């Protein structure tokens, strides 16, 4: 094993890891056979097949929900959820400032106004008090994002939404397999929205599933996703406005196979994440997010930890990440604060909200905890968590090595 005391890889030493972590996506004969079956059956779209719909139903049950809709992606699932909740012109939707842009643009897609709020500094999920403080007479919904698979405080959120008459849409794009008090995420709010894009915890390259428990909401979301059709009516009977957001049968076939191996993968990722949390927490300047005891399983889309550069001889985050990458650790990056994106800073919302100027000055929105987290968290790729335990603990060894040599690295790279 490479010595922690040896020269860090970024300064020319041998890396802690010379072998890469497991690759992603994972697939085998199950995906191949599923695709062939769809090919030969000739259905190919949901109008002539049940593969995608069956997958969405199984996925919904896995997350404790009654209904699942197989849709194109995790952007459209959010949009369909808001449309089904009858959210539109002049309504406000509260969204956390640390997330992928789609969580907020979903509101714009239905001509509603996203209101950006701060996050919990520890879990990076929406701060429920900040969400409550942002409620106005126009607020219709909260979109809560389970960031990196860590469940938001669903007890507090459901209580708040019930008390204030708001819809709750859970954005579970990072949280396949996250369980809150014995029930899957996505089943707590009016809707749970999942993405199956390539980087996600199960994938068909693209794809999305919308889950819910209410039949009328299910019907409304499906009508929106299926060109305004009403189930059981004539094919060219279009009752309401809708678009085409249907998943293909190909995606359904791949995702059925992915769902089959998901529970075992989820268990491995959970066990490894818990072990890595403990190892990293022992290193000065590193803090892993507190795992809420109400969350019995976390779908780790990413493994996130907080980095305090003052304990690493002032080594800036970017240089720390470069040193970690040189040791063979695969990383993503933190989201920037949504309020810093050009779309919001400059209110570039066309073709949405054309009928009136937005009444929020996003350029002046300050989200201090989002900004701090964006500048001080490290996001590791989930494929690392599928490795054997010693390989996973190499992450902590690499961080420890950088900690030991932080002054030298800072000196050399400055």
Ligand X SMILES: Cc1ncc(COP(=O)(O)O)c(C=O)c1O
The single residue of 62, 100, 305, 335 carrying the catalytic annotation is 100
Measured from the Cβ of residue 207, the count of other Cβ atoms closer than 10 Å reads 30
Q: Let me know if 122 is a catalytic residue.
A: no
Closer to ligand X by Cβ: residue 74 or 242: 74
Q: Of the residues 63, 200, 218, 405, which is catalytic?
A: 200
Q: How far is the CB of 411 from ligand X (least distance, A)?
A: 37
Residues 171, 190, 226, 394: which is the catalytic one?
171
The single-letter DSSP state of residue 310 is G
Shorter beta-carbon distance to ligand X: residue 76 or 403: 76
Catalytic residue, candidates 140, 246, 269, 369? 246
Retrieve residue 291's tokens: 């795992």
Q: Quick one: 210 or 326, whose CB is closer to ligand X?
A: 210
Interacting residues toward ligand X by CB under 6 A: 73-75, 99-100, 102-103, 145, 171, 173-174, 195, 197, 208
C-beta closer to ligand X: residue 117 or 280: 117
How many helices, marked H, and strands, marked E, lie in the chain? Answer: 13, 13
Instruction: Identify which of 235, 258, 266, 214 has the alpha carbon closest to the alpha carbon of residue 81.
Output: 214
- Tell me which residue of 155, 14, 170, 24 sits closest to 95, measured CA to CA: 170
Among 63, 76, 229, 269, the one annotated catalytic: 229
Is residue 171 part of the annotated active site? The answer reads: yes
In DSSP terms, 70 is beta-bridged to 209
Are the beta carbons of 169 and 85 closer than 8 angstroms? yes
Residue 229 falls in the annotated catalytic set: yes
Beta bridge partners of 377: 306
Q: Is 67 a catalytic residue?
A: no
From the CB of 134, what's the least distance to ligand X, in Å? 19
Task: For ligand X, give the closer residue by CB, 103 or 297.
Answer: 103
Choice between 119 and 326, CB closer to ligand X:
119
Residue 75 near residue 104 (C-beta atoms within 8 A): no
- Tell me the residue nearest to ligand X as measured from the CB: 74
Least distance (Å) between residue 74 CB and ligand X? 3
Tell the smallest beta-carbon distance from residue 157 to ligand X (Å): 16
Task: Note if 200 is an active site residue.
Answer: yes
Residue with tokens 């960031």: 147
Contact 213, 31 (CB under 8 A): no
CB of 68 to ligand X, least distance (A): 15
Tokens of 187: 């089943």
399, 378 Cβ separation under 8 angstroms:
no
3-class SS letters over 1-46: CCCCCCCCHHHCCCCCCCCCCCCCCCCCHHHHHHHHHHHHHCCCEH
Burial of 351 (0-12, 13-18, 19+ CB in 10 A): exposed
The least distance separating ligand X from the CB of residue 78, rounded to whole angstroms, comes to 6
Give the active site residue among 58, 183, 197, 383.
197
Residue 318 phi, psi (nearest 5): -60, -40
**Would you name the residues annotated as active-site residues?**
100, 171, 174, 197, 200, 229, 236, 246
């Amino acid at each position: 094993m490479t010595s922690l005391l040896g020269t860090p890889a970024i300064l020319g030493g041998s890396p802690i890891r010379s072998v890469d972590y497991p690759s992603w996506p994972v697939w085998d004969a199950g995906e191949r056979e599923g695709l062939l079956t769809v090919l030969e059956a000739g259905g190919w779209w949901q109008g002539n097949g049940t593969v995608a719909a069956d997958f969405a139903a199984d996925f919904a049950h896995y997350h404790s929900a009654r209904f699942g809709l197989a849709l194109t992606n995790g952007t459209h699932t959010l949009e369909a959820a808001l449309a089904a909740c009858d959210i539109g012109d002049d309504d406000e939707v509260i969204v956390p400032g640390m997330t992928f842009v789609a969580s907020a643009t979903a509101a714009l897609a239905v001509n509603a106004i996203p209101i950006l709020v701060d996050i919990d500094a520890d879990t990076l999920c929406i701060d429920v008090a900040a969400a409550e403080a942002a409620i106005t007479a126009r607020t219709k919904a909260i979109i809560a994002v389970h960031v990196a698979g860590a469940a938001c405080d669903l007890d507090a959120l459901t209580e708040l939404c019930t008390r204030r008459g708001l819809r709750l849409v859970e954005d579970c794009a990072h949280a396949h397999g996250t369980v809150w008090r014995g029930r899957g995420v996505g089943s707590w709010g009016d809707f749970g929205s999942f993405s199956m894009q390539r980087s996600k915890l199960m994938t068909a390259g693209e794809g999305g599933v919308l889950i819910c428990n209410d039949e009328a909401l299910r019907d409304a979301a499906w009508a929106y996703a299926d060109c305004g059709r009403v189930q059981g009516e004539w094919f060219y009977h279009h009752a309401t406005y809708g678009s085409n957001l249907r998943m293909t049968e190909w995606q359904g076939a791949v995702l059925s196979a992915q769902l089959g191996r998901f529970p075992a993968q989820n268990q491995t990722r959970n066990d490894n994440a818990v072990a890595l949390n403990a190892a990293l927490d022992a290193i000065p300047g590193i803090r892993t997010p507190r795992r809420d005891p109400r969350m019995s399983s976390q779908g780790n889309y990413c493994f996130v930890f907080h980095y305090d550069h003052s304990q690493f001889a002032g080594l800036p985050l970017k240089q720390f990440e470069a040193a970690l990458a040189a040791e063979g650790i695969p990383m993503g990056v933190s989201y920037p604060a949504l309020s810093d994106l050009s779309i919001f800073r400059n209110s570039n919302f066309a073709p949405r909200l054309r009928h009136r100027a937005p009444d929020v000055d996003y350029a002046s929105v300050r989200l201090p905890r989002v900004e701090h987290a964006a500048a001080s968290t490290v996001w590791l790729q989930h494929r690392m968590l599928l490795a054997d335990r010693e390989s996973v603990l190499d992450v902590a060894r690499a961080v420890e090595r950088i900690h030991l040599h932080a002054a030298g690295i800072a000196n050399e790279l400055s």
